[in-house]
Structure 1
């Protein structure tokens, strides 16, 4: 039996140069920038948007939750598609869906319309979240990825710092609707650059089967759980018929999803992944990271505007310390991991920062010294920066290369799911606490309104409507009361993130400390194919030369041979 001649040629193909990698990453980086900019540019203006659309606190929470929900649900779907179809085409489709839905949201006339478009936006965001990780693994090895994480950190910083500032300026000068249109030119440019610069290996053509039932059951289970968390205690009692139906439906949907995944030829989330201890523990840790990351981005902006009376522009400036912590930690830790190849200590320190930041933010009041609030935000941002991308990195390092898509998207899915549930629970806790404090302080609020003279009827009607107030425009006597109420409510909601951050630390401590391979996903797949080819030829034939080429290419790695590259996943099970 002859050996396929393509294998040695592919294996001896030189690695991409630094310039070639940068060129390939350019469109991917711009795509991520578009995604983050479209999300962050509206973050500081959301209180104004919900106020103008006559929405309440529940509407505020659902505008965020709708995007996170569809992002979480669609992420594993995109990840599975990445293992089956052309990844370049998929990420271009994801960008198009995301930006068109974002632009459509700018024409919203009601909270419900805005929530609907944000839900569609999340479908595209799920694709960008999953596919960017998969494509990175295609062209950059885990050991070398830290060198390029600085670029991703810079993109995240520009979008995350610049987005809220730009959104605040646009809202204060042109109106909030223009926030939804600003990302369109960047999206068009990203599509053009991706088409010209991103070149990925073609997928092996084979008959594929889409797990439609799995998609339905997963969507139903997650949606029912989040709708229950958001509405319970407000629209109906925690212990009620609605609770039984929604929680029961979520449990049934989860059981049906597990059964479907066990029987499916192409499961959406292969349950065999959970045999890998690294994947399971990283998934648990990702949930806490998601709660901290999304919870902070949503409620810190609300804290600045509702508890400190800031304008949207000022709120964007005031959240810079958190983004600074994320930027410094993600770039610095990425470089250190590449240099020393040791990732675990940084993840442990990051999880400790998550605990400290979440707890300290639960102690803030409307008059807390802003220097202290900045320190707390910096700690939380540093914790997110150290853990978020590196949890995906360690999973990709030990996962079978044929399952990189579903494994990467699996971790991202649980991070998004954690964030979605976290925002829902924190939003529900905030709404309940605010209602409780308004009821307890009714006499003081009434006295403040009565002291407004001719303006008293207007403010009484505004507060009775249930619409999210614009605290910065309130008279001084009312503003102080509501700043205190919202500060207590938001700080109370941050306390929810603390136990999850503790669980994250425990999971990270028990992560197997596997050395990072220097091989990209494409090289690992080629090495695996070469190993399979050696089985069918006598010892001493030319295929062994191909194996030697792999050893040379992977010099310095802890497990240099092609065989060890494919055995890594199994060694952790």
Structure 2
């Protein structure tokens, strides 16, 4: 009975899985993704209050977000490379554990600096969750079928993104913001147990493990220095100052060194040969702008709602529902359409157009914009993201060599996170400068008494609690943040145009029907030399050979009489049929 139960749950010897087994295997992945999204989004609406309580500035606010994105960005390709070398099931459980530990520690932060440090740990785990979930999904589901299952990921993402801010707002208003960092812990424990019980991956071929530690260090250092530069320039020092030049040139030199090391490494973190593929190159460039739209919108719309429109954390969560609703509906609907038709190009181009329209419309925001229009703009952008974001990963997985499946998947995610991190840093820097300039100019026109209040309440640069300010200062702050947020969306619109161009140039390859495991098995069988016992005389046909079916089903070569000419091999596709072909 125990044996029957195990075989009903585990994949068949050839790695094939039924629809029910796929859903069971995805259950742990989906719950793990939900935990990571929930732990991030529950604090999104309360970040203005958190930074105000911890005496943090606009720069600190930006870094609380950027620190997580930075750690996610630099760790994603490392997780992807490790996934090609080690046990993927164990790795995703480890990533989930690191993520929730970082989240829990963040709840004990006493100042903005410690919060940023613990958010880095949180980001390290998030990089593994994002990369490994996509890699494992490619292992067990073919590209053609992945669309409808990707809709489940889109639904979980939307649920966590919609429910998180609402839950975070309620928890903050009722119990205080620190509890936002603790509520994901019990769900994470359940996710780890569920992954252990439901995720059964066939054993992968053994290989020598080599890690490019120098390449990883150089990539991490170059990206980190780049983000520190774009965050601090304009506030801590001038853009054209000597400090700025040193940091910029240093980031470039580290990046050049990383490229040189990657070209020579036996197991590079990001194999540069991947960029020979037009699909991979165009998808990674498109992912940069997608990251700006995804992360920039979620970060700065919360500030807009609370600092420009006077919303509470709970109200802010409610007001951002349209964007996630658009993402949920489009990712689920069009994921199913892609699976049914096997075509994706027109859907992704249309989604890119919607992203461009939504971002441009958000660029018109100010303190007086109707919230109904704001909701329509957010829905438009969310619908476009749902049609593009996951499918960029899908088209890369569909065409890349199976031995690079893990690192290619994580690389696309890496560039999306990089775009988000750099975008949030630059947008935060612009917003801080615009807000400071507008507040200073308007305060100069006030009476001496109000100027004294402004110096006392706003002079330290700390993000204010708008509802506690005098009316005259509240209006100034709301107006500054309203126009400032609109400006940063307008600045990001040309990047979305780049996404549209890159998606339009993507080669329109049809989606395959083999899972990652099938492709690994086929590649292994095809690379195995045929024994001499399978030689054929020119007068013989393949049908003359007696094939051991049990050996073929195990992925082994056929046995037969000794011959002198061409060899044959067994190629076992995703279906159950076995066919024989001659070597070319």
**Which TM-score applies when normalising by structure 2?**
0.90
In 1, Cα distance between equivalents of 2:16 and 2:186:
33
Select between 489-498 and 289-298 the one with higher mean Cα deviation: 489-498
List gaps (5 residues or longer) in structure 2. 1-10, 537-541, 548-556, 559-567
Q: Deviations over 1:322-369 (max 9, x none)?
A: 001100110011000001111011110111111111111111111111
Select between 47-56 and 433-442 the one with higher mean Cα deviation: 433-442
Where 1:58 maps in the other structure, the secondary structure is helix
Answer whether contact 1:85 1:203 (CA < 8 A) is retained.
no
Q: Deviations over 1:24-43 (max 9, x none)?
A: 11111100000000000000
In 2, Cα distance between equivalents of 1:152 and 1:237:
43
* Offset, 1:538: 2.5
In 1, Cα distance between equivalents of 2:102 and 2:351:
34
Identify if the C-alpha distance between structure 1 residues 191 and 242 changes in structure 2 by more than 3 Å, giving closer, same or farther: same
Higher relative contact order (CA 8 A, sep 6+): 1
In 2, Cα distance between equivalents of 1:563 and 1:111:
66
Give the superposed CA RMSD: 2.2
Answer whether contact 2:439 2:476 (CA < 8 A) is retained.
no
Larger Rg: 2
Where 1:333 maps in the other structure, the secondary structure is helix
Q: 1:493 aligns with which of 470, 480, 488?
A: 488
Structure 2 residue 120 is matched with structure 1 residue 119 = yes
Where 1:550 maps in the other structure, the secondary structure is coil
In 2, Cα distance between equivalents of 1:35 and 1:551:
33
In 2, Cα distance between equivalents of 1:334 and 1:551:
21
Answer whether contact 1:554 1:561 (CA < 8 A) is retained.
no
* Offset, 1:120: 1.0
Where 2:514 maps in the other structure, the secondary structure is coil
Paired residue for 1:463? Answer: 458
Structure 2 residue 530 is matched with structure 1 residue 530 = no
Paired residue for 2:16? Answer: 15
Paired residue for 1:229? Answer: 230
In 2, Cα distance between equivalents of 1:390 and 1:534:
37
Paired residue for 2:504? Answer: 509
Answer whether contact 1:144 1:518 (CA < 8 A) is retained.
yes
Select between 140-149 and 130-139 the one with higher mean Cα deviation: 140-149
Q: How does 1:346-357 map to 2 (within 5 A)?
A: 346-357=347-358
Paired residue for 2:172? Answer: 171
* Offset, 1:531: 2.0
Structure 2 residue 275 is matched with structure 1 residue 278 = no
Answer whether contact 2:140 2:516 (CA < 8 A) is retained.
yes
* Offset, 1:15: 3.0
Q: How many residues align?
A: 546
Structure 2 residue 475 is matched with structure 1 residue 476 = no
* Offset, 1:553: 4.6
In 2, Cα distance between equivalents of 1:11 and 1:526:
14
Answer whether contact 2:67 2:119 (CA < 8 A) is retained.
yes
Answer whether contact 1:395 1:407 (CA < 8 A) is retained.
yes
Paired residue for 2:449? Answer: 450
Identify if the C-alpha distance between structure 1 residues 531 and 301 changes in structure 2 by more than 3 Å, giving closer, same or farther: same
Where 1:178 maps in the other structure, the secondary structure is helix
* Offset, 1:293: 0.2
Q: 2:573 aligns with which of 525, 535, 550?
A: 550
Where 2:200 maps in the other structure, the secondary structure is coil
In 2, Cα distance between equivalents of 1:561 and 1:410:
36
Identify if the C-alpha distance between structure 1 residues 442 and 21 changes in structure 2 by more than 3 Å, giving closer, same or farther: same
In 1, Cα distance between equivalents of 2:386 and 2:115:
30
Identify if the C-alpha distance between structure 1 residues 199 and 213 changes in structure 2 by more than 3 Å, giving closer, same or farther: same
Select between 541-550 and 66-75 the one with higher mean Cα deviation: 541-550
In 1, Cα distance between equivalents of 2:432 and 2:360:
20
Paired residue for 2:564? Answer: none
Paired residue for 1:4? Answer: none
In 2, Cα distance between equivalents of 1:443 and 1:328:
48
Where 1:214 maps in the other structure, the secondary structure is helix
* Offset, 1:154: 1.8
In 1, Cα distance between equivalents of 2:12 and 2:183:
44
In 2, Cα distance between equivalents of 1:457 and 1:365:
27
Where 2:266 maps in the other structure, the secondary structure is coil
Q: How does 1:106-145 map to 2 (within 5 A)?
A: 106-145=107-146
Structure 2 residue 68 is matched with structure 1 residue 67 = yes
